[in-house]
Chains A and B, each alone.
Chain A
Amino acid sequence: MLTRRLIAGWPGMLFLLALAAAAVLVPFANLALPPSSPWHVPTHLVVLVGKWLCYALLAIALDLVWGYCGILSLGHGAFFGLGGYAMGMYLMRQIGTRGVYGHPELPDFMVFLNWKELPWYWWGFDQFWFAALMVLLVPGLLAFVFGWFAFRSRVTGVYLSIITQALTFALMLAFFRNDMGFGGNNGLTDFREILGFAVRDQGTRAALFAATCIALAGGFLLARWIVTSRYGLVLVAVRDAESRTRFLGYRVDRYKLFVFVVSAMMAGVAGALYVPQVGIINPGEFAPTNSIEAVIWVAVGGRGTLVGAALGAVVVNAFKTWMTGAMPEVWLFALGALFVLVTLFLPKGILGTLGAIRWRRRPPPADAPALATEQGR
C-alpha cells in the first residue's frame, strides 16, 4: 500500500524505472563498451547528464515548497550553493600536499592570501562524514532561521519571494569576498580525490552519476511520502487557503518551516553531488538568475507534480546546452520566451498538461494533482 502511495501512477513509475535503468546502464555503457561501439556513452555526456540530474533534484526540492505549499522561493540556489561549498571544502582538504604550494593543511588560496592557519569553520572538513553532515545541516539551519522569522511574521507571496532573492544575492556578495575564506571569486576548484578515488577518473565519474540517480530517486520518494501524508493535505490547504487552515487549528508557520527546511536540505544534497561532477564551485552559483532558472524548470515541467519538476529541469537544461552551443547570444531571450509561452499556453506545465489529456478520456476530472490519501482505496 505504501509502495502504491509513493509511486504515484504512471509518471512516478516511469520516472523511477528510468532512473534505475540510467544508474545501471549509463555507467556500463561508459565503462564496459569500447568507444567504437554505437552504444558507448562518452564521459563528457555522463558528466553533462549527471549535472542535469542534480538540477532535477533541486527542482523537486523547489516543487515541494512552491508546488505544494505555495512558497515561491527565488533563492533556492542559496541552499544548492551551500551544499556545494560544503562538499567543495571536503574536496579541497583532500588535495593535501598536492596543491601548487604544497601546504599539508591550507588550501592554495589561503597560502596565497598569507593565512597562517586554517580558520575554525574549515575544521572537520577533512572527514567525509562531517562534510556530508554539513551538506544537510548548513542549508537546513539557514532555512530554519530564515523561515522562522519569515513565516512567523506571516510574510507571504511576492514579499517572501523578494527576500529569498535577497538572501541568495547577499550570500553571493559575501562569498565573493576573499576574507570570507571560501576562495573568493575563484571559489573552490582543482579537486583531486573523493573518498580516495581520483575525481577526474572515468570510473569515479560513472559512480558519481549513479549516486546522483539514487539521490534523485530518494529525494523523489521522500517528497512523495511527505505530500501523500496527512501533512501533505495540510500543505496544499495552506497553499490554497492559508487563513482557513489556521482557523482549523493548524500552526501554518510550523508547517511551512518544516517543508522549507526539508527542501533546503534536498537542495544542499543536489549541490553537493553537483560540485565533484563539474569540478568547481564559485560564488556564481548564488547568482539570483540561477534560482530564477530553477523556478522556470518547475513551471515548464509542471508545478505540484514532482516528476514534472525533474522533467522540466532536464528538458530546459538540454535545450540550454544545445542553444548555448548553437547560438549563445539568443539563450536568455529563449529562456524568457519559454517562460512566457509556458505561462500562457501550458499553465500546468508539460506533465500537468499530459495528465489533463489523459484524464479527459477518463471519468470525472480531478482538477487537482492527484493526491492519494489514506482512505485505503
Chain B
Amino acid sequence: MNAAVETTAILYVDGVSVSFDGFRALNRLSLIIEPGEMRAIIGPNGAGKTTMMDVVTGKTKPDSGTILFAGRHDLSRLDEAAIADLGIGRKFQRPTVFEMHTVWDNLLLAVKQPRGVFRTLVARLSGAERDRLEEILAITRLTELRERSAGALSHGQKQWLEIGMLLAQEPALLLVDEPVAGMTDAETEQTAELLRDINRTRSVVVVEHDMSFVRALGVRVTVLHEGSVLAEGSLDAVSANERVVEVYLGR
C-alpha cells in the first residue's frame, strides 16, 4: 500500500480491486470524496456498489489498491469495529436494526461512547446523551415510538431508525445504502431532506436506484459499472452520457 499519498479527501479510494472466485467485483476502482461532500452512487445490479461499501467498512479486504480515510487511516488494515470507531457509519440496504430492543435502546447502542467491555458494564446515561437521543428521536419522528420494540416498526420507520442510529454514532462519513427502498413518496421526500440536513455537518455517500430521489438530492453522481467508475458529474450530465445510457438500457 502506498502510504505516501497526500490527500485532503475524507475518503480516498485508488485502484481498488476485489475478486470473489474469479469474479471481479471491483476493478481498479478509484473514487475521491471531499470533506463535507455528498455523493450519490448509481449503477446497475452487480456494478459493485455494495462491495465498495463492504471494502470501505472493513467487511471485505481489498486484493489491491489504497483506501485512506481522512488522508491518514489505511482502512484496508483495520477491522469493522475499528473503522466504525474512526467515524465511518453505515446504513445497510435491508434495514438492520436490533429487533428485540426498543427504539430507544437501539439508539443508545449506537450513541457515541467508549465501546470497551468494562466501560459499557458501568456506563450510565448522561444528561448530554439523553438530550442527544431525544433530539434524534425528534429528527427521525420516532419520539412517540421510543418504547416500541424495533421489530414492530414499519419498514419506513426502521429505515429512519437506522438513519437515527447513524446520527447517534456521530460519524464524519456516512455510507448510506438504498435509504428509500420500500418507502412511500412522502417518506422519500422527507428522507432526501433529512440527508441534506445531515450533510451540513458530515460527508455522505448514498447508493440509490431511485432516480427521482437522486434528483431530489441534487448532488454530484458517480456511475459504477462492472466494478469501476463509468462516469461522474451532475445527474443531467451523466444521464446524457451515451455509455451510461447504453449500460442502463442494454445494448
**Contacts from A to B (Cβ < 8 Å):** 226, 229-231, 233-234, 236-237, 240-241, 243-252, 254-255, 258, 364, 366-368, 371, 373-376
- Contact between B120 and A231, CB atoms less than 8 A apart: yes
Interfacial chain B residues near A237, Cβ < 8 Å: 98, 101, 109
- Contact between A374 and B100, CB atoms less than 8 A apart: no
| Bound Cα distance from A245 to B102, whole angstroms | 15
- Contact between B101 and A247, CB atoms less than 8 A apart: no
Interfacial chain B residues near A234, Cβ < 8 Å: 109, 120
- Contact between A254 and B117, CB atoms less than 8 A apart: yes
- Contact between B108 and A233, CB atoms less than 8 A apart: yes
Cβ < 8 Å to A, chain B residues 109-125: 109-110, 115-117, 120-125
B-side interface size class: 35 or more
- Contact between B85 and A249, CB atoms less than 8 A apart: yes
- Contact between B84 and A248, CB atoms less than 8 A apart: yes
Most buried by B among A246, A248, A255: A248
- Tell me, yes or no, whether B57 is within 8 Å of chain A by CB: yes
**Closest chain A residue, CB of each to CB of B175:** A247
**Closest chain B residue, CB of each to CB of A373:** B105
| Bound Cα distance from A373 to B146, whole angstroms | 13
B106 → chain A closest CB, angstroms: 9
Pick from B108, B115, B120, B149: contact of A373, CB below 8 A.
B108
- Tell me, yes or no, whether B165 is within 8 Å of chain A by CB: yes
B105 → chain A closest CB, angstroms: 5
Pick from A240, A258, A373: contact of B98, CB below 8 A.
A240
A265 → chain B closest CB, angstroms: 15
Given A229-B120, A246-B80, A247-B90, A367 and B115 contact (CB-CB distance below 8 Å): no
| Bound Cα distance from A313 to B140, whole angstroms | 45
Cβ < 8 Å to A, chain B residues 82-111: 84-85, 90, 92, 96, 98-102, 104-105, 108-110
Name 7 interchain pairs, CB-CB below 8 A, sorted by A: A231-B117, A237-B101, A241-B96, A244-B92, A247-B90, A368-B101, A373-B108
- Contact between A236 and B81, CB atoms less than 8 A apart: no
B13 → chain A closest CB, angstroms: 19
Beyond A231-B123, A247-B84, A248-B169, 10 additional pairs, beta carbon < 8 A: A230-B123, A241-B99, A245-B109, A247-B90, A248-B84, A248-B165, A367-B100, A373-B104, A375-B104, A376-B125
Pick from A230, A246, A364: contact of B84, CB below 8 A.
A246
| Bound Cα distance from A204 to B227, whole angstroms | 74
- Contact between A230 and B117, CB atoms less than 8 A apart: no
Interfacial chain B residues near A243, Cβ < 8 Å: 59, 80
Interfacial chain A residues near B125, Cβ < 8 Å: 374-376
Cβ < 8 Å to A, chain B residues 60-87: 79-81, 84-85
Pick from B96, B101, B116: contact of A233, CB below 8 A.
B101
Given A229-B121, A246-B81, A251-B81, A364 and B101 contact (CB-CB distance below 8 Å): no
**Closest chain A residue, CB of each to CB of B99:** A240
B143 → chain A closest CB, angstroms: 14
| Bound Cα distance from A255 to B147, whole angstroms | 25
